[in-house]
Amino acid sequence: MSTEDFSLMDGQSLGCLDHVLREINKYKTQHEALLAEQKILRDGIDNNNNFAEQFKKRSEERKASIEDEKKKRTMIIQKEKQKCRAVQDENTKLQVEILKVKEELHKLDQRNTSLKKQTEISTAVPERRVVFRGNTKEGAHAVSFDVNPHIVYPMEGGTALITFEEENVAQKILNLKDHLVQLGDCTITVQAKPIQFLVPSYVEMETQVCPRRILVSNLPKEEPEDRVLDKLDIHFSRKKNGGGEVEDRDMLHDSGTVVITFVDDNIAKCLSDKQDHEVDFGKKKYKVKVTPFLNGEISQMKICNSVCMRTVLLTGIPDIMDKDNLQDNLEIHFQKMANGGGEVEGIMYNPPGHTTLALFDEDSPKDS
């Protein structure tokens, strides 16, 4: 190989080497650019991961906050619902109270109407003739009502009721309890027991006007009862007299008045409003007075035990002689002071096997 060829060869190699170096530098620059870009991407990824972690944390915090808010809102809603239910319950109670008050007001209105009616008829009382005989009494301005006891007492067989004039005599007989009574040739033993009753000590009544009945007073005393009832029936059954169909009529002998009951309930008021009615008895016309009939209902009553102070019950009396003789012997025995007795006001004996009803009335105090 010549020197010239070697030189030529070196020149070609150097050209190739420069090209390689340039390529190397080129790829090195690209590699550095890629590394820089990779670093940027890695930093971006790290930043994104950090952002993702932050967002995740914030999301969890927000989610927890939302859950707390939801729980609080649920609790608030529950409390408000409870308040609403309480208000509804209170409203229901108030509605019930309002209904009760309305019912009470309705009852009071009815009571007030009834009292007004009674006030309107307070002066419309049955006709009764009265006369002043010059006697006066203290406290006459006070309004009072008396109830007279009228007690029917069923007597068992073999018993007697004996009433003494003095209370202390009856008490003495009761204290002795057993009494030996001489009846001819034989002697009997009777027991003395007190007479006790359950009687009303306080009675409260509510009255109201009966829409179907009237009370007719100032009736002619010279006319027979049947004729009076028939004439009243005829008069008050006629429409021209303001009457209607009569269902019943009843004479109240204690007051001398008549109660007339109509079939319809729109007749009685018109007749009682007029009050004075002239009834034709054939030969003569009599002016009678018509007043409302009051129905009474006991609204309150108190009971107490009452003892007959002058009457004693005798028991254990055998049937050994006729009724009248035995009763006379008992009266004689208990009249004797030696037997603890005294003056007898009355006696009633009921033999064994018989039933008798004894009537007890109020024991009026004796005048001093």
Q: In this structure, are 212 and 276 located in the same domain? A: yes
**3-state secondary structure labels for all residues of 114-178:** HHHHHHHCCCCCCCCCCCCCCCCCCCCCCCCCCCCCEEEEEECCCEEEEEECCHHHHHHHHHHCE
Task: Give residue for tokens 């073999």.
Answer: 158
Token pair of 135 as six digits: 């006697």
Q: In this structure, are 325 and 279 located in the same domain? A: no
Question: How much is the pLDDT for 76?
Answer: 93
Q: In this structure, are 190 and 228 located in the same domain? A: no
Q: In this structure, are 246 and 264 located in the same domain? A: yes
Q: In this structure, are 155 and 276 located in the same domain? A: no
CATH code of residue 295: 3.30.70.330
Q: In this structure, are 290 and 308 located in the same domain? A: no
Asked if residue 269 is part of any domain, the answer here is yes
Contact 271, 214 (CB under 8 A): yes
Q: In this structure, are 269 and 316 located in the same domain? A: no
Q: In this structure, are 241 and 187 located in the same domain? A: no
11-25, 143-157, 277-291: least confidently modelled range: 143-157
Q: Domain boundary residue among 283, 300, 317?
A: 300
CA atoms of 298 and 20, how far apart (whole Å): 138
Q: Domain boundary residue among 300, 329, 350?
A: 300
Dihedral pair phi/psi, residue 97, rounded to 5° = -60, -40
Q: State pTM to two decimals.
A: 0.49
Higher pLDDT, 20 or 126: 20
271-290: pLDDT as tens digits: 988 889 998 888 888 899 99
Domain that holds residue 277: 203-300
177-205: pLDDT as tens digits: 999 998 878 889 999 999 988 888 888 88
Q: In this structure, are 280 and 241 located in the same domain? A: yes
Number of domains in the chain: 2
Over residues 243-271, the mean pLDDT reads 90
Token pair of 31 as six digits: 């590699």
Q: How far apart, in Å, do the first and last CA atoms of the chain sit?
A: 193
Task: Give residue for tokens 């018993």.
Answer: 159
Q: In this structure, are 334 and 355 located in the same domain? A: yes
Query: Environment class of residue 269 by beta-carbon count within 10 Å: exposed (0-12), middle (13-18) or buried (19+)?
Result: middle
